[in-house]
């Protein structure tokens, strides 16, 4: 592919995103899990127009999401990632693009670049968290997406850090508690709490075997958090600007048990092999929640401002790193 063709593919990439989002919303990959099906059969199953569904399928065959043979369509290895019941499913991520408010915010990226302002809030007059709280359907999809993305890294994070010397852990902003479950499963002596806003937080673990060591608390991490030996903050700080991050970390510092640790799990800028993912995630933070991805040094500065000290950074067998902070 020559340079202009490459550039054209980049410029029109939003079309692929839109097509994938519709396929995810319709549940096409789930429908194809049992084997090849015709467009007519699929259209009837998902409630779509046969002709336009065939046009959508043609486009997704062209980019390798589905395969077509003798008029029947099937999942490829790529398309299987949009199935609901696969580990790390990307169906919830694709479905988040069904929210018109998110699409519109990305159209304001130029405003953010010119002014430094958050695109979503500049366009809509309120932040993305307020929007999701007022849109239960989109909030549910967002929660599913956070759970799916966490499930793809949770085991790697639990394996990369030694929790054996700790007794209690709180998953701050932990939503459905996927990361907490992985840690409690790996360390049977630990007790844990998932902590998040009331419309987000899980009320019980998915595994009944963890119920005796599991608790759930609703609240705001800007106000107070339950005391613990360790705090897990996965993909939390990147949602917020620096001053708000310091507030969150100070709340943790105030409740941290003596000798405890704050474990920030994030996609860190400057780590080899994650350059593209991190750079575009950084733009996503600018457009939607108003935060940013950060370098190791930038996280260290946040810790210092909150009365903590960066002790070490651990790589995991995933896209995420663990930044361990202790009381300064």
Q: State both tokens at 91.
A: 């169906």
Q: How confident is the model at residue 173 (pLDDT cuts 50, 70, 90)?
A: very high
Contact in structure between 165 and 190 (CB atoms under 8 Å)? no
Looking at 3.40.50.1460, 3.40.50.150, 3.60.110.10, 3.30.70.120, the CATH number of the domain 150-327 comes to 3.40.50.150
Q: Give the percent of the chain with pLDDT over 70.
A: 100
Neighbours of 221 (CB within 10 A): 22
Nearest to 220 by CA among 284, 129, 324: 129
Residues in a beta bridge with 308: 327
Mean pLDDT across 148-162? 94
Contact in structure between 233 and 248 (CB atoms under 8 Å)? yes
Tell me the pTM: 0.93
pLDDT at 181 > cutoff 90: yes
Q: State both tokens at 96.
A: 């988040």
pLDDT confidence of residue 199? 83
Q: Which residue has the tokens 């409690």?
A: 184
189 flagged as catalytic = no
Looking at 1.10.3720.10, 1.10.10.10, 1.20.1050.10, 1.40.20.10, the CATH number of the domain 3-86 comes to 1.10.10.10
Taking only the tens place, the pLDDT of each residue in 55-64 is 999 999 999 9
- Give domain limits for the chain: 3-86, 96-145, 150-327
Taking only the tens place, the pLDDT of each residue in 257-313 is 999 999 999 999 999 989 999 999 999 999 999 999 999 999 999 999 999 999 999
pLDDT confidence of residue 307? 97
Q: How confident is the model at residue 117 (pLDDT cuts 50, 70, 90)?
A: very high
pLDDT confidence of residue 87? 84
Q: How confident is the model at residue 137 (pLDDT cuts 50, 70, 90)?
A: very high
């Amino acid at each position: 592919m020559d340079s202009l063709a490459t550039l054209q593919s980049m410029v029109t990439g939003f079309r692929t995103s839109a097509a994938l989002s519709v396929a995810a919303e319709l549940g096409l990959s789930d429908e194809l899990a049992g084997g090849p099906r015709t467009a007519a059969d699929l259209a009837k199953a998902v409630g779509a127009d046969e002709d336009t569904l065939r046009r959508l399928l043609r486009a997704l065959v062209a980019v390798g999401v589905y395969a077509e043979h003798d008029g029947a369509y099937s999942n490829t290895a790529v398309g299987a990632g949009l199935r609901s019941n696969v580990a790390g499913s990307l169906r919830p991520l694709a479905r988040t693009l069904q929210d018109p408010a998110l699409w519109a915010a990305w159209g304001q990226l130029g405003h953010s670049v010119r002014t430094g302002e958050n695109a979503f809030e500049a366009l809509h007059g309120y932040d993305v968290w307020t929007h999701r709280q007022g849109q239960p359907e989109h909030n549910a999809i967002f929660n599913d997406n956070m759970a799916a993305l966490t499930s793809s890294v949770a085991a790697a994070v639990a394996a990369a850090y030694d929790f054996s010397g700790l007794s209690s852990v709180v998953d701050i902003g932990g939503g459905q508690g996927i990361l907490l479950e992985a840690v409690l499963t790996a360390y049977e002596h630990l007790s844990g709490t998932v902590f998040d806003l009331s419309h987000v937080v899980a009320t019980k673990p998915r595994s009944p075997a963890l119920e005796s060591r599991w608790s759930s608390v609703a609240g705001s991490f800007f106000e107070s958090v339950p005391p613990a030996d360790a705090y897990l903050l996965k993909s939390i700080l990147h949602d917020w600007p620096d001053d708000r991050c310091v507030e969150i970390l100070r709340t943790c510092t105030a409740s941290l048990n003596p000798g405890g640790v704050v474990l920030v799990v994030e996609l860190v800028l400057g780590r080899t092999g994650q350059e593209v993912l991190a750079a575009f995630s950084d733009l996503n933070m600018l457009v939607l929640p108003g935060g940013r991805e950060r370098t190791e040094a930038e996280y260290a500065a946040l810790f210092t401002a909150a009365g903590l000290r960066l002790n070490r950074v651990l790589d995991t067998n995933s896209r995420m790193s663990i930044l361990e902070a202790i009381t300064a």
